[in-house]
Chain A
């Protein structure tokens, strides 16, 4: 027994220690006192304790373990939010001892009913992985399972886990590729970024380069024409590649800069040249955002603009620089402007540059001068103009500007020195004034290199330099030696002594590079008896024609890093960076992405995230329309597409055949008919949902349709084939597992109740005592008739009881507690609509009469196509009666099957008829006073008949 803090103390503790953590102070002394509060009822205290626990658990492992049992209990809570937050905290406690517990918890949560808990499980995966990388294999299994999840809530988180744990397992993506593409638009923003980046990498390994013909053309220009024609094969884009491009495009309109950037890089790396242009507009829009966003975007635009210049040309002016921009932004904009410069716009750009040169920001001016130099080298027409402009800058008052100009002029002159000896003379004069070492070095190099153009000035410059040699910077000294050597070789008469003098000075310099250089040059140029064979070639060595420097953008070839990544920004591989692979030569098998689509799953999938929302109210005509707006539409389309594929590969598994049919499928294939059908289905979904049932409940109803084995002989009530549902799982129930089924027998104590047969199995090692129902939380009007208490259930035994529930003719779940002598479990029973009725006997005439009275709104008709297995009276009868508790009504025609029943609570009639026609075409009619029941029943029966 411990002691408990008083309430006052407790809250004081919390309010004290939290700010301490936030301010980075050590509050670990309080650990034992705080951990005690973990079981506290107050939610805020609880939360704060969690924060504290996660922060200090690593340092105080033993004490942290005290709290683990609380979370383990939380993991089994009936409330999904509590389960999720328990898992979240448990997995954040970085204590190695609990790794097995965490692993178990994650595995369990990964198959939880609630998508939110599954999402939390995905979040927990990287946490466990970083704590114990040896769990990798187990975790990959969980990831694989979660990747198959169909909810948008989970998708982003699990891909994030995938990227952190096993980014190399690209094979796990195949089966989920199309689904991820289709769900993308509904995933939350952060998940979108992660998924898009991953899919970019995936696409690079699975599809062919859409620009391969153009790229090849460039290469082959050198080769002969003939081979080019032979090699060129028509490129057909894989439909999956197209799917990705199509589904990501709308996200360029996202408000989240990271999403826009992710799509932009995807297009840059994956789209055909002609389509990449769409991203420019969006990227230019981001430039309006915060300066940090601007900084990152400009880095990427700079890289893109080298490869695809045309894309940003229309937006040239958006890159104009304002005097208020931060320097780093200015420099990047300048980079982009330089990349965009071409013959047509260069005059505009140069005029703009002229404004920039006057700026007060000297770093920026220096960058502008460099940019002018680059424009001049790239575009021959403006070289002279640029050069003249730069020469004018030589008389600028600011030394930095002059120095930078000198450096750039030097590079430009190297391209055509003959015509510019006057410029060289002008620069020679500058040596008196310019003090910036780099500029001095550049001038000296220039004079040395072109000494024959300025034969009179060169020796004089050397003379002046010899005088100041000892005070110069190292790079200048090196260039003085260089100049001396060149002059000695061309004009030894005038400069012999000067050169000797300079070399002697250099010989005793403090810097060993300079001493080395002096020794080397002396040996090379001054002929002595010992001098080797090289000195003969000294002139050739020094005065060789040097190629003009190529002024390149620092962003050239940076696109081998995935754009938008940290590595691209730093131009260095960051930890955990996944290399963007090159396109494959031949496309890998596309059929790996084919997915077997089960009917039941499809039904759920059509009800994707935003279809549901609040739009579904039946009286709302926009419900159906609105539902089409988000991803729902696309999901349907692509499934329709993938379906025939499965067929073809089943019949003949010829790869070639398969891929051909894929490529021939054009985008416009979705026919009118299809979309009509979709709309109808959507309407149904809408109608069905009278109230905002949480999505989970809908899931439960749809994913567990009664199974329909064909072999079962036809009976009116197929009692041997009752679908059982799980009420309590063995693990949650700590050894006690409970299943239930709707026995379809009248419940004798109260005819208005549905009989539910409940079967308890005790697989624990000890006996369970006093099993009973308690504390039913029912919707208004619902009633429950408990089963008599089971006093003892020995280990390994099974027992069945029957209880009655009046569901009030609705599919709302009945929630109650199932209690043993030690524990209480929250459970709920949710009836499929077919179980809310009981069969009644009717003659053909009565049926017709009743049907005649239930026309109009009370009648729902659907056309359907029966599956092959389901054509024939027996099969139809069997399937309908399995789906709903109805009895057959005799009928004269063998083309028609009729069924009748009444709802259990209110006794409203339910009439069903199925009329079969040629080729499996059929029509289903349901007449029921209760429209909700009717619509839901239609849905269930349709599903039963078409599966």
Chain B
């Protein structure tokens, strides 16, 4: 299975390596670095690279490459999924996943990796189990540790791995028992020039933050579960009960976790909250062009659309731009040709507009394709699919927990072709 792991920063420096079997020389990474040089963007590096003696499987995440070395047949997704878990674990422990953070907590990351794999096969990947073994750092603890010389390694023997519900640590105690659920929906859509929907779907996720004492057994039901086309669950959810009764019944892990993800496919159900009127044109003669974009609310279910942002990758031949925005502000990076227009809240009475002229490099031909617009937006207190949580019940514990559900809609991969 997984032989070694290298963490590589964008400039190609290997700043952490870990081997679970025999040591593999780091020169093996040269094949990867070669492929990285060839690729225009870091995302273009092939995830699987074949070298004479090894296979390299890598992911690019949070501006870091996680590169694993494989010697024999193994499902590539197995490795990819594991590498993402490593990244998530670092994020979970230290708040972010970056080169500095890993370098600052080198020993701890190393210890975590040691526990996550044994001989290249995943051993403990549940964050609840890991946290019982190796406690995440807090400022207070690090002060105490330096003063008293104690460490972050749990000194009690953990029992989590032995438990039949490995995702939950034992002996959880809170003075305030609370359970919060965030229903987050993202609209993935492609609109064509005329504003017609080419493709649209909703990707939803229920994020939970559960801080309940003991061993609570929760049941979450929806008002309209039939809406959901396709679902995937955290391992704690009982599949059978979902299939028969469409309720989520589970013993939650302690802390933050993703309870389920779902998918609403039916296109007519997908409301598109904004419309975009745009015209980008380049004149055949003369090196000039015009840009005119207006954004307005469409199907918003009476809520305000916030955090609206339009991102455009302008053609490489653009020399400079001169635009004015009636609302919000725009930034333009001439190096990457990235235009970002941060609008903010949408006001139906006064639609925001961005217009002005684009000048091309002298002698450059008229660009073939007009750049497409990527839209970002946010609507609070609304799940655009209409999904609603009906109720949350708790069994198995006596106290009364504080419960809360929050809805939010965002734009996912929302693209307007021009």
Stretch at the interface among B121-129, B136-144, B352-360, B376-384: B121-129
Which residue of B has the minimal Cβ distance to A563?
Answer: B75
Residues of B within 8 A of A595 (CB): none
Q: What is the CB-to-nearest-CB distance from A872 to chain B, in angstroms, rounded to a whole number?
A: 41
B263:A285 contact, CB within 8 angstroms = yes
B241:A295 contact, CB within 8 angstroms = no
A255:B232 contact, CB within 8 angstroms = yes
B55:A326 contact, CB within 8 angstroms = no
A622:B395 contact, CB within 8 angstroms = yes
- What does the 1/0 interface line of B89-126 toward A look like (CB < 8 Å)? 00000000000000000110111001000110111010
Q: Does residue A705 face the partner (Cβ distance < 8 Å to B)? A: no
Q: What is the CB-to-nearest-CB distance from A698 to chain B, in angstroms, rounded to a whole number?
A: 11
Stretch at the interface among B155-163, B275-283, B297-305, B326-334: B155-163
B114:A88 contact, CB within 8 angstroms = no
B22:A18 contact, CB within 8 angstroms = no
B46:A328 contact, CB within 8 angstroms = yes
Residues of A within 8 A of B76 (CB): 296, 564-566, 569
Q: Does residue A825 face the partner (Cβ distance < 8 Å to B)? A: no
B84:A290 contact, CB within 8 angstroms = yes
Report the Cα distance A360→B17, complex, angstroms: 38
A55:B19 contact, CB within 8 angstroms = yes
B118:A577 contact, CB within 8 angstroms = no
- What does the 1/0 interface line of A759-771 toward B look like (CB < 8 Å)? 0000000000000
Stretch at the interface among B175-183, B341-349, B366-374, B401-409: B366-374
Q: Does residue B399 face the partner (Cβ distance < 8 Å to A)? A: no
Report the Cα distance A256→B106, complex, angstroms: 27
Which residues in chain B, 227-265, are within 8 Å of chain A measured between CB atoms? 229-235, 238-243, 249, 251, 258, 261, 263
Q: Does residue A610 face the partner (Cβ distance < 8 Å to B)? A: yes
Residues of A within 8 A of B21 (CB): 130
Residues of A within 8 A of B15 (CB): 23
Q: Does residue B363 face the partner (Cβ distance < 8 Å to A)? A: no
B415:A290 contact, CB within 8 angstroms = no
Chain A CB within 10 Å, residue with most, of B17, B22, B239: B239
Chain B CB within 10 Å, residue with most, of A15, A79, A88, A626: A626
A116:B107 contact, CB within 8 angstroms = no
Which residue of B has the minimal Cβ distance to A696?
Answer: B162
Which residues in chain A, 140-191, are within 8 Å of chain B measured between CB atoms? 152-153, 157, 160, 185, 188-190
Q: What is the CB-to-nearest-CB distance from A253 to chain B, in angstroms, rounded to a whole number?
A: 5
Q: What is the CB-to-nearest-CB distance from B371 to chain A, in angstroms, rounded to a whole number?
A: 8
Q: Does residue A710 face the partner (Cβ distance < 8 Å to B)? A: no
Residues of B within 8 A of A576 (CB): 71-73
Q: What is the CB-to-nearest-CB distance from A393 to chain B, in angstroms, rounded to a whole number?
A: 11
Of A253, A297, A360, A577, the contact of B369 (CB 8 Å cutoff):
A360
Stretch at the interface among A257-265, A482-490, A918-926: A257-265
Which residue of A has the minimal Cβ distance to B158?
Answer: A81
Which residue of B has the minimal Cβ distance to A292?
Answer: B47
A51:B114 contact, CB within 8 angstroms = yes
Q: What is the CB-to-nearest-CB distance from B58 to chain A, in angstroms, rounded to a whole number?
A: 8
A255:B77 contact, CB within 8 angstroms = no
B415:A324 contact, CB within 8 angstroms = yes
A79:B165 contact, CB within 8 angstroms = no
- What does the 1/0 interface line of A667-704 toward B look like (CB < 8 Å)? 00000000000000000000000000011000000000
Q: Does residue A291 face the partner (Cβ distance < 8 Å to B)? A: yes
Which residues in chain A, 281-298, are within 8 Å of chain B measured between CB atoms? 281-282, 284-285, 288, 290-293, 295-297
Q: Does residue B151 face the partner (Cβ distance < 8 Å to A)? A: yes
Given A324-B415, A566-B76, do A359 and B230 touch, yes or no (CB 8 Å)?
Answer: no
Of A44, A250, A293, A575, the contact of B80 (CB 8 Å cutoff):
A293
Residues of A within 8 A of B230 (CB): 281-282, 284-285
B233:A566 contact, CB within 8 angstroms = no
Q: Does residue B164 face the partner (Cβ distance < 8 Å to A)? A: yes
Which residue of B has the minimal Cβ distance to A695?
Answer: B164
- What does the 1/0 interface line of B37-48 toward A look like (CB < 8 Å)? 000110110111
Q: Does residue A11 face the partner (Cβ distance < 8 Å to B)? A: yes
Residues of B within 8 A of A15 (CB): 107
Report the Cα distance A528→B323, complex, angstroms: 77
Report the Cα distance A284→B307, complex, angstroms: 29
Residues of A within 8 A of B70 (CB): 566
A296:B199 contact, CB within 8 angstroms = no
Q: Does residue B396 face the partner (Cβ distance < 8 Å to A)? A: yes
Q: What is the CB-to-nearest-CB distance from B19 to chain A, in angstroms, rounded to a whole number?
A: 7
Q: Does residue B30 face the partner (Cβ distance < 8 Å to A)? A: no
B80:A613 contact, CB within 8 angstroms = no
A260:B232 contact, CB within 8 angstroms = yes
Residues of A within 8 A of B59 (CB): 290, 292
Q: What is the CB-to-nearest-CB distance from B258 to chain A, in angstroms, rounded to a whole number?
A: 7
Given A44-B151, A79-B157, A293-B80, do A614 and B215 touch, yes or no (CB 8 Å)?
Answer: yes
Residues of B within 8 A of A749 (CB): none
Report the Cα distance A322→B191, complex, angstroms: 11
Residues of B within 8 A of A11 (CB): 149
B22:A58 contact, CB within 8 angstroms = yes
Which residue of A has the minimal Cβ distance to B111?
Answer: A47
Report the Cα distance A500→B173, complex, angstroms: 95
Report the Cα distance A526→B47, complex, angstroms: 55
A326:B235 contact, CB within 8 angstroms = no
Given A258-B77, A322-B190, do A44 and B153 touch, yes or no (CB 8 Å)?
Answer: yes
- What does the 1/0 interface line of A108-135 toward B look like (CB < 8 Å)? 0000001110000001101100100000
Report the Cα distance A774→B338, complex, angstroms: 76
A564:B16 contact, CB within 8 angstroms = no
Q: Does residue A21 face the partner (Cβ distance < 8 Å to B)? A: yes
Q: Does residue B315 face the partner (Cβ distance < 8 Å to A)? A: yes
A397:B16 contact, CB within 8 angstroms = no
Q: What is the CB-to-nearest-CB distance from A478 to chain B, in angstroms, rounded to a whole number?
A: 29
- What does the 1/0 interface line of B200-222 toward A look like (CB < 8 Å)? 01010000000000110100000
Report the Cα distance A440→B177, complex, angstroms: 74
A123:B118 contact, CB within 8 angstroms = yes
Q: Does residue B23 face the partner (Cβ distance < 8 Å to A)? A: yes
Residues of B within 8 A of A377 (CB): none
Residues of A within 8 A of B106 (CB): 18-19, 22-23
Q: Does residue B413 face the partner (Cβ distance < 8 Å to A)? A: yes
Residues of B within 8 A of A292 (CB): 47, 58-60, 80
B240:A92 contact, CB within 8 angstroms = no
Q: Does residue A541 face the partner (Cβ distance < 8 Å to B)? A: no
Q: Does residue A609 face the partner (Cβ distance < 8 Å to B)? A: yes
B396:A617 contact, CB within 8 angstroms = yes
Chain B contacts to A: CB under 8 angstroms: 1, 14-19, 21-23, 26, 40-41, 43-44, 46-48, 50, 55, 58-61, 70-78, 80-82, 84, 106-107, 109-111, 114, 118-119, 121-123, 125, 149, 151-155, 157-158, 161-162, 164-166, 188, 190, 192, 198-199, 201, 203, 214-215, 217, 229-235, 238-243, 249, 251, 258, 261, 263, 267, 313, 315-316, 365, 367-369, 371-372, 374, 395-396, 413, 415, 417
List 4 A-B pairs, minimum CB-CB distance, nearest first.
A614-B215, A576-B72, A629-B238, A358-B369
Chain A contacts to B: CB under 8 angstroms: 11, 15, 18-19, 21-24, 42-44, 47-48, 51, 55, 58, 79-82, 88, 91-92, 94, 114-116, 123-124, 126-127, 130, 152-153, 157, 160, 185, 188-190, 193, 197, 250, 253-258, 260-262, 281-282, 284-285, 288, 290-293, 295-297, 317-318, 320, 322-324, 326-328, 352, 355, 358-360, 397-398, 564-567, 569-570, 572, 574-578, 609-610, 612-615, 617, 620, 622, 626, 628-630, 633, 694-695
